Structure 1
């Protein structure tokens, strides 16, 4: 059963940019500093309406310095989305750590996905907007290029019944991704209450995804 396990997250676990304060930039990796400023502004403003000059001002550098790293707003937002996926994967790894077996760890990563999205709705919306389309090199769910994609495929392959083929694994991966992504969107949109017990009960009805997809291939 692909049941999302209930996890106790505090603000420091999943909230991005909560404790970052505006300060002048002095030295080091300017690109990373600009991205961190952008993540903070996303959280504070609650939407993706972030400009390059605003990020420059909040970081304490000139607009010219920002343009050296991000030629336009789209480039900046794309970088923020990529940073969001890295932070999401870090949260999933932390959630899975210490679980007694791979199946419980996999369930924990699904729970972490939903919690991260709900705690960071503006960032999650940006991540969704910049999620690669199917067939693109960095496609999230099935790509061998992304950390999240690699982790998802490895977990699916390990948890599916022995002898399951590639098609069955692809179907299971897509369905697992659709479950947590769709659930996150519904909670953020208010169509589903942000109630972990209710969410877990709904996911309990998902069924035995491993065996059903293995049978579908036979």
Structure 2
């Protein structure tokens, strides 16, 4: 019978399993991820994985939760940074882009079309709610402190949709040498979205 593992060791092993699953989900597609494939990559038997997770969906849910929490940590640090609300809002956008570029597998997994239901996994539901709150909180501050007249939740989702689309274009290689620069597109997009609602400051 296997000896008991310390909580620290369990967390370490779970993180290793999640990292493999995250990579395989992007490289192979979610439907081709399997307990056997994850175990093989780790040099284990599939049976060993069941000491840490009930099934593949539980592993992928943990991977999504971990990715969402890492994204949230970046966004929260940006919003808590120096400067006025316009500077901090720009920092939030940069933090979002930096996460996608630094952790493309995690970013792609977060927005994969096929996903286990987050309601079945409390940690994932909490991480998803935290990330969504962070993607709207800075716009609420813009409305409250920056003189923007808008429905904060709606504007936040418009910003998110635009930025996600731009990041996805970059990841797909659709922004070529002939395309306008990434930051030029982003600045123009934000400026146009804010035009008419902005009373003061520079939100580009």
* TM-score in terms of structure 1 length: 0.63
> Aligned match of 2:16 in 19, 36, 40?
36
Please name the residue that 1:192 is paired with.
175
How many angstroms does 1:97 deviate by? 4.7
User: 2:35 matched to 1:52?
Assistant: yes
Shift of 1:113: 1.3
Aligned to 1:19: none
Q: 2-side partners of 1:112 and 1:178: how far apart?
A: 16
Structure ranking higher in helix proportion: 2
Question: Counterpart of 1:76?
Answer: 59
Name 2:193's counterpart in structure 1: 209
Aligned to 2:129: 146
2:152 maps to: 169
Considering Cα pairs closer than 8 Å and 6+ residues apart, tell me whether 1 or 2 has the greater RCO: 1
Query: 1:210 Cα deviation (Å)?
Result: 4.3
Asked if residue 27 in structure 1 is aligned to residue 6 in structure 2, the reply is yes
Tell me how far apart the structure 1 counterparts of residues 92 and 99 of structure 2 sit (CA, whole Å). Answer: 10
The unaligned stretches of length 5 or more in structure 1 are 1-24
Aligned counterpart in structure 2 of residue 117 of structure 1, from 81, 100, 108: 100
Tell me by how many angstroms 1:43 deviates. Answer: 4.5
Q: Which residue of 1 aligns with 2:202?
A: none
The alpha carbon displacement at 1:211 in A equals 5.6
Taking a change above 3 Å as real, the CA distance of residues 144 and 88 of structure 1, as seen in their structure-2 partners, is closer
Distance, in Å, in 1 between the alignment partners of 2:154 and 2:120 is 19
Structure 1 pair 102–161 and aligned structure 2 pair: CA distance change class (3 A): closer
Query: 1:121-161: CA deviations, max 9, x gaps?
Result: 222221102688xxx899xxxx9972222223332122126
Alignment CA distance shift 1:75-1:193 (3 Å)? farther
Distance (Å, rounded) in 2 between the aligned partners of 1:149 and 1:45:
22
RMSD: 4.0
